[in-house]
Amino acid sequence: MVFSSITFLYYFLPLCILCHFLVPTRYRNKILLIFSLIFYFYGESKYIIVLIFSCILNYYAGNLILKYPEHKKQILIGSLLINFGLLFYFKYFNFFITNINHIFQTSLPILQIIMPIGISFFTFQATSYVIDIYKNEIKPAKSLLDFATYLTLFPQLIAGPIVRYETVEQEMNERPTKAHLVAQGLKRFIIGLGKKVLIANLLGAFAESLSSLATPTLLSYWLKALAYTFQIYYDFSGYSDMAIGLGLVFGFHFLENFNYPLIAKSITDFWHRWHISLSTWFRDYLYIPLGGNRHGKKKQIRNILIVWFTTGLWHGASWNFILWGLYFGILLLLEKFVFKKFLDKHKIFGHISTFILILFSFVIFETESISDIILFFKGLFDLGGPFTSIETNFYLKNYFVILLIAFIGMGPWLKKLYTKINSTTTGQKILNILEPISLMVLLLVITGFIIDDSYNPFLYFRF
């Protein structure tokens, strides 16, 4: 079940909210757990057992670490091996076998494995819980029901953000009903839904149209790179907005996952703003345990490359994702050890060069085969070919407005304007009238697009 579906918007979600607020407070976790399992079962009935097993495994692993501190290291290692063993089997086994066959000219069988939706997210979330108990940073959940509610919570179950237990520990059993949080959450949800349906989906269709050109042009390649970048950003940040908004509706405060990453002044700055829950997970649970920057430059370089190889691999069992991760790892090393002073001094150049490097990164991200990536980059720099064509101009004209909206929305300018208007008494009165009307109209427009549009993927579901 996806958020941008009629089933979710007009059946599942209203019923869940109604049940959640009608029952006594002590039953609310049970209601959320039931609806979260239904949500997952609707889209992945066969593998819901994997999610339930993860709940049981990690809950009891956390309790055993507390109960038997003398054996906590062995318990931690055992739980990590099982968690990541499942992730490897479902997500990477066939990739591993395919490469073994290619390298050694063998014919090992490829299994018919379907990856459980969201396994990368709930595996990382579960392992962070066990590791934090091992490090004495949190106490185990009070009950299996509480932990299962945390791990399966449907707003962030499928595509994050990766929520650590410490973020919601107090709110698992103490979530007072506040109307302003519900209103704020629904507003955030509708805006995120608009980003996904009205911007990301249209830009995805734009990229597909450019891919079908009989004669690609220099301009079409650059427009496609731009469309890829904006589509991924608005799809994933839109999903995070919806998850955070739904969290507020049910009384949870999830941490922000995006902070206008496309206006970053450097690649380092970009990764402080993009998919924050993932980058901090790798920092805290891989980079720092490897030694971080504490044991000399050579080991720091090694640690950075390991982290970014793993980050790429986390996104998918494909060489383009590994290349994407290493691309960022190398750029971060160059920034840290070669260009840092220059970028600090020339900030305008930093913003422009970072945006272009981000465009290149999402060409790698979206283009599956290495040969196609090479062809794409040749197209980006083919000055000898046609600059544009009638077809390219046609699609640019049709999608120009949505591109302009995407450019405006990638920065905090609209938010600043809203804050400025809301800071005055007159502005507050105007917004109090216009805001609910605008949100209702936006929801109606989104609904129309969902009903009419067959192109409605969630890109991060594959992770």
Active site residues: 315
- SS3 category, 112: coil
3-state SS assignment for residue 134: helix
Structure token pair of residue 437: 């009307």
Q: Is 359 helix (H, G, I), strand (E, B) or coil?
A: helix
Picking from 192, 177, 133, the residue whose alpha carbon sits closest to that of residue 2 is 192
8 A C-beta contact, residue 54 and residue 122: yes
Residue in 251, 39, 274 with CA at minimum distance from that of residue 158: 39
3-state secondary structure 387-433: CCCHHHHHHHHHHHHHHHHHHHHCCCHHHHHHHHHHCCHHHHHHHHH
Q: 323-326 long-range contacts, Cβ below 8 Å, gap at least 24?
A: 323/364, 323/370, 323/373, 324/361, 324/364, 324/365
d(CA 206, CA 455): 11
Q: Are the C-beta atoms of residues 121 and 421 closer than 8 Å to each other?
A: no
DSSP three-state, residue 457: coil
Tally of residues, the chain: 463
Helices (H) and strands (E) in the chain, counts: 24, 0
Q: If you write DSSP's letter for every residue of 5-30 in order, what string do you get?
A: SHHIIIIIHHHHHHHHHHS-GGGHHH
270, burial (CB in 10 Å: exposed 0-12, middle 13-18, buried 19+) = buried
3-state secondary structure of 292: coil
Q: 329-339 b/e with 16+ CB inside 10 Å = b? A: bebbbebbeeb
